[in-house]
Amino acid sequence: MAKDYLPHTNWSRRIDRAADRVGRITSYIWLLLLGGIVVNVLLRYALNQGRIEMEELQWHLYSLGFLLGLGYAYQADAHIRVDVLHERFRHRTKAWIELYGILLLLLPFITLILIYSVPFVASSFEAGEVSNSPGGLPLRWLIKAALPLGFFLLLLTVAARLLRVWHFLFLHPQGTASGR
């Protein structure tokens, strides 16, 4: 794990454990998605029956897996970065880059998503929105609610990382003395 140099705090440990649990539970969504794809293919090609609700269920499961997995991916450091450059930096340089990335890019982005996704879900709920497709799934607001939920989980893991980075840069004596 690339973030081992960052010391944990009590809160970061708790949040990371929760994110890990959510990530492990979310991983089963991918098995459900695979099962749904197999059933849909069998229905379509073996029984010559296309099912709109099966296709929509696949979209919903994919969305849930992706959105609920965001926080876990960030916590597990499984997100994309330019590792060719990152691995050559000293730990303090990495921590400063992480701090500025969180404060200037990630937190504003998450904030915007949360601000605009909650009314998006609320209007869908109030309208009783359902699928436009005949035979499609009801309760469209429920899948839309995965958007703020996923980004709220991501916000929690970002807060945990921010605590760790802050502790490393400003409160941890080894963080200021050691270069690696």
Distance (Å, whole) CA 164 – CA 148: 24
pTM of the model: 0.84
Structural domain contains residue 2: no
Least confident of 18-22, 36-40, 77-81, 119-123: 77-81
pLDDT the model gives residue 51: 82
pLDDT tens profile 121-133? 999 999 988 888 8
| Numbers of helices and strands, H then E, in the chain | 8, 0
Q: What is the sign, positive or negative, of the torsion defined by CA atoms of 105, 107, 110, 115?
A: negative
Domain count, the chain: 1
Q: Exposed, middle or buried by CB within 10 Å (0-12, 13-18, 19+), for 163?
A: buried
Structural domain contains residue 5: no
Tokens, residue 11 = 């809160």
Task: Summarize the confidence of residues 14-22 as an average pLDDT.
Answer: 92
pLDDT the model gives residue 91: 87
Task: Summarize the confidence of residues 51-68 as an average pLDDT.
Answer: 90
Nearest to 51 by CA among 67, 34, 35, 39: 39
Structural domain contains residue 1: no
Distance (Å, whole) CA 12 – CA 88: 26
pLDDT the model gives residue 83: 67
What radius of gyration, in Å, describes the C-alpha atoms of the chain?
A: 20
Q: Which residue segment(s) compose the domain that 167 sits in?
A: 10-177
Structural domain contains residue 69: yes
pLDDT tens profile 67-112? 999 999 998 887 776 667 777 889 899 889 899 999 999 999 999 9
Structural domain contains residue 83: yes
Distance (Å, whole) CA 168 – CA 106: 19
Confidence of residue 178 (pLDDT cuts 50, 70, 90): very low
Say if residue 156's pLDDT is above 60.
yes
Strand, helix or coil at 82?
Answer: coil
Least confident of 69-83, 103-117, 147-161, 164-178: 164-178
Structural domain contains residue 80: yes
pLDDT the model gives residue 3: 54
Task: Summarize the confidence of residues 48-68 as an average pLDDT.
Answer: 89
pLDDT the model gives residue 103: 96
Q: How many residues does the chain have?
A: 180
